[in-house]
Structures are given as structure tokens and as C-alpha cells.
Amino acid sequence: MVFIDGTVVNVALPALQSNFHATVVDVQWVVESYGLALAALILAGGALGDHFGRRLIFLLGVGIFAAASAACGFSSNISLLILGRCVQGVGAAFLVPGSLAIISSCFEEKSRGQAIGTWSGFTAITTALGPVLGGALIEHASWHWIFFINLPLAAVVIAISLWHIPESRGAGASQPVDWTGALIATMGLGGLVYGFLESSSRGWSHPLVFGTLSMGIACLALFVFLDARLTSPMVPLRLFKSHSFSGANLLTLFLYAALGVFFFLFPLNLIQAQGYSATAAGAAALPMIACMFLLSRWSGGLVVRYGARTPLIVGPLIASVGFVLFAVPAIGGNYWETFFPGFVVLGLGMAVSVAPQTTVVMNSVGRDEAGTASGINNAVSRLAGVLAIAILGIVMVSVFSSSLTHRLENLGLSPSILREIQANEIRLAGLEVPSGLDAGTSAEIRTAVSQAFVLGFRVVTLICAGLAVTGAAIAWLAIPASFTPSSPQATSPRVV
């Protein structure tokens, strides 16, 4: 459910922007409201599972997610949709860490890597299904239906969970949940994300932007200060004394930041700039998903055969090459020659990276803290995407605006037309050409908009490649070469 939703919504962004006459900031909030709630509360979701029962919290998350999906499907305006997406994020915060924690509690350390690899494979199936099915629904029915597909899935998940999954808890089930920390973390992340997003339209000097950014930084500093002094903190800082745990989470931060902003912008590129249909755009990433699925169990065993550091250096480096390949295509061209090679290489890099990275995280802590460790790592991955979309979205808007202004200077447009276009630059490739122009001028403006968007997309994808290389460097420096599922540091945090 979560992986379908994470991909299908991105394919729907152009339709949402057109349907609601929304700016890029509006559609950013459709993604960010979900990611923000998920990133801020996923830590509490993992802790709640350890305390009150992982299956119980998992099922609670499924129920909330399904109800919020129905609310999103019935949304009549962008504000209601954003609110529904926020509630979806709350449900996902309970659902996501529970899935990995249940796996960790049911498998021994030596077989856990392949179990997590299998989990990665099945998430890859649903990740592939989401954009294809969603694109077809958007093209032939309505964007509303992309949320309704979660409802039958929820019914099946609940039935299987009640029938087959055993209940499990952590040893610290009697410890209180750090709700104060959850509130402060939410305020901190919310302040940062709001400030970064609104800076595109309001400017850095606007009091609301400056104030929310300052509040966000202050709340996150307070969160760290308080958690270091609590007996049952939301984020046990002692876990980060493990080189492997810290390194794997830093790698997650950089690699998933690259993926988050890439998959936010790529559907906009295909549909609005390249002229793909929603169905074709949804199917475009299938080669990547196929690579991850076919290689998932194999990659789960890499840690046993080669240790953790080698695949976590090689995988992100391969992924960086994939991002560079996406910076090459201009407008037009055959899919198989433009975007297909990038997806194959990116899929190979992620296949080598994902299962070993998750295995390192889960095997760096004791089984009783599996839910907390899963929550932390998932929070890092979601937060990476949230911040990358907010921060690199500023880069995208800036490059797009500068390039478009330069291109329009040569078209001899009237000052009023230029002002109208510049006032709507925040819509990026969804910018509508002013009415009343002849067909030739309209076509030239449309071409200039598409070319400006592609330039911005190229800049962002090259930054994504740099983020992936940084992740590989972190793995080389931080993850011990001797780390394996059976090594001492793989079973408990190593104090440094």
C-alpha cells in the first residue's frame, strides 16, 4: 500500500496541477504533507510497535491509511487533498516500521538478510504496479481512483495479518512513549519544510519563511537535547554509537534524498515537457523495478558473502551513473535510447544497495529494538525525500526561471505578456501559455518552457549523482569492513 502510494501520486502530479490550477508549491505539498507526517511520526510508530505489539500497530496503520486514502479520493480541492495526504502519512508511520520489525522478530540474524531481500522484492512489485495502474486510471478514468486502489489492498492485508502474523513486542514494552519528542520533531521538521517550500514564492527575507526556518532549527536542536536526557527517548542516541548503524543511516539520507527529488520531478518531465501519456510515464520506471525485484534475494545475501561495506560502496556509485544518464536526454527522442539506460543502471545500483543497507541497520541493534531501528531508518529515508524536494525544488525553480527569462528575451514578446508568464513561473512546465497569441508564438513559448524545465531537471539530476557518490564515500568511511550478520558488531551496537 505505501509503496504503491509513494509512486502513483508522483505520476498524478501533472493531473492534479491541471485539475486544481495549482502551482508547483501546491503539488509539492501534496507530496510533502504525506512525507512530513510519515517522517515525524514513524519513530513513534516503531516505538509503539515495540511497546504495544507490532502486529497491533501495523494493523492500526493499515486502517488509518485506508480511511485516509478514501478521503483523498473524495477530495474536491487541493486543501482537502493535502489534509488527507497528511493523515495517510500518520497511518504509514505505524505501518512501515511494523513490517520490517515483524520480519526481524521472526527470522534469525543469518537468514534475516534474505528475508529482507524478499521483502524488498515484493515492495518492488507494488512499486511497479502503482505507476502503471495509476497512469491508466488517470488517463482513462480520473485521478481520484489512484487512492481508491488502496481499499481492497487494505482488506487483504488485514485478513492475512490476523490469520498468519504472530504478535511480538520488545523487551521495553513497559516504557512510556516519548510523545513530547514526537510533537517537537513534527514542529521542527514542519518548520524546515514549510520555510524551504514557501521561499520559492515568498523569498528568503519574508518573515514567515525566516520565522518557520528558525523555529524548525530550534525545535530540532531541542529534540536532540531532550532525547539525550530521557530514559525512554524516541531516538535512543546510544544506537548511533555504532559505526555501522550511523553509517547506514547517513548513506540512506543521501541516497534517498536523490531518489526522492528525482521521482518528484521525473513524471513532470515526461508528461509536461516530453509529452508522454500518464500511462507511459507510469510504465517508464518498470526496468528499474524489474532489476530490483529480480536481484532482491541475491542482494540480500551480499552481506554474508562480501561484508556490508563493499556492496554499499559499489551500489551507490552505480546509481550515480544512472542519475548522470538521466541528465543527457533533451526534448524528444526514443524512450529506449533516452531514459531506458538510466533506469537499468539506477535499478542495478539500488538492487545492490537496498537489501544490504537495510540488513546493516537491522543487524546493528538487538532484536528488542528492531522496531525503533526500523523507525529511525525509515524516518531518515522519508525525511531525506522531504528535505530534498523542498531544497532542490528551490534549485529547480531558480534554474527554470533564469533559463526561461533568457529564452523569452529573443521572442519579442510585449511587456504585459512577459509579466504574465513570469508571474506563473512557479508552475514550472505546467505553465499555461497566455491567451490571445498566434499559434506560432504560442508554440515558441511552449518550447521555451519545456527546454527551461529540462535544463533545471538536468541540474537537479547531476546533484542527485553527487549525493549518491557522497553516500558511497560515507559507506567506505563509516561502515566496518568486517561487518557481517554473524560478526559481534552486527548483533549489538558497538560503542566507539
Q: Residue 359 maps to which CATH number?
A: 1.20.1250.20
What average pLDDT score do residues 355-379 get? 74
pLDDT per residue as tens digits for the range 238-277: 778 777 888 889 999 999 999 989 988 998 899 888 988 8
Query: Do 322 and 194 sit in the same domain of this protein?
Result: no
pLDDT at 44: 74
Q: Which three cell numbers stand for residue 258?
A: 536523490
How far apart are alpha carbons 285 and 347 in whole angstroms? 9
Query: Do 110 and 167 sit in the same domain of this protein?
Result: yes
Query: Do 252 and 189 sit in the same domain of this protein?
Result: no
The reply to whether 406 falls in a domain is no
User: Which of 41, 75, 78 lies closest to 61, judged by CA?
Assistant: 41
pLDDT at 172: 54
The reply to whether 419 falls in a domain is no
The reply to whether 434 falls in a domain is no
3-state secondary structure of 178: coil
Query: Do 125 and 255 sit in the same domain of this protein?
Result: yes
pLDDT at 13: 85
Report the 10 Å Cβ neighbour count for 412.
Answer: 9
Per-residue pLDDT band for 495 (boundaries 50, 70, 90) equals: very low
Q: Which three cell numbers stand for residue 266?
A: 521525473
The reply to whether 10 falls in a domain is yes
| Lowest-pLDDT choice from 44-53, 315-324, 368-377, 481-490 | 481-490
Asked if 468 and 320 count as a contact pair (C-beta separation under 8 A), the reply is yes
Q: Half-sphere exposure of 108 toward its Cβ, with a 13 Å CA cutoff?
A: 3
pLDDT per residue as tens digits for the range 145-190: 888 888 998 999 999 988 888 887 765 555 666 777 778 877 887 7
Query: Do 376 and 273 sit in the same domain of this protein?
Result: yes
In the predicted structure, residue 37 carries a pLDDT above the cut 60:
yes
Report the domain count for the chain.
2
Asked if 271 and 278 count as a contact pair (C-beta separation under 8 A), the reply is yes
Query: Do 160 and 203 sit in the same domain of this protein?
Result: no
Query: Do 48 and 152 sit in the same domain of this protein?
Result: yes
Q: What are phi and psi of 126, to 5 degrees?
A: -70, -35
Q: What are phi and psi of 322, to 5 degrees?
A: -60, -45
Which letter does DSSP use for residue 204 in this model? Answer: T
Q: Which three cell numbers stand for residue 469?
A: 557518490
Asked if 166 and 55 count as a contact pair (C-beta separation under 8 A), the reply is yes
pLDDT at 463: 97
pLDDT at 490: 40
Query: Do 166 and 187 sit in the same domain of this protein?
Result: no
Query: Do 153 and 111 sit in the same domain of this protein?
Result: yes
How far apart are alpha carbons 73 and 76 in whole angstroms? 9
Q: Please state, rounded to an integer, the average pLDDT across all residues of the chain.
A: 82
Query: Do 256 and 362 sit in the same domain of this protein?
Result: yes
The reply to whether 456 falls in a domain is yes
Amino acid at 378: N
What average pLDDT score do residues 441-461 get? 91
- Tell me which residue range forms the domain holding 187: 179-229
Query: Do 36 and 152 sit in the same domain of this protein?
Result: yes
Burial 334-368 (b: 16+ CB within 10 A, else e): eeeebbbbbbbbbbbbbbbbbbbbbbbbbbbbebe
The reply to whether 42 falls in a domain is yes
Tell me the torsion sign for CA atoms 363, 365, 370, 371.
negative
The reply to whether 337 falls in a domain is yes
The reply to whether 411 falls in a domain is no
pLDDT per residue as tens digits for the range 72-113: 999 888 889 999 999 998 998 888 777 777 887 778 767 777
Q: Which three cell numbers stand for residue 218?
A: 530550534
Tell me the torsion sign for CA atoms 134, 137, 140, 144.
negative
Amino acid at 225: F
pLDDT per residue as tens digits for the range 273-289: 898 888 888 888 888 88
How far apart are alpha carbons 308 and 492 in whole angstroms? 16
Query: Do 282 and 208 sit in the same domain of this protein?
Result: no
Q: Which three cell numbers stand for residue 83?
A: 489534509
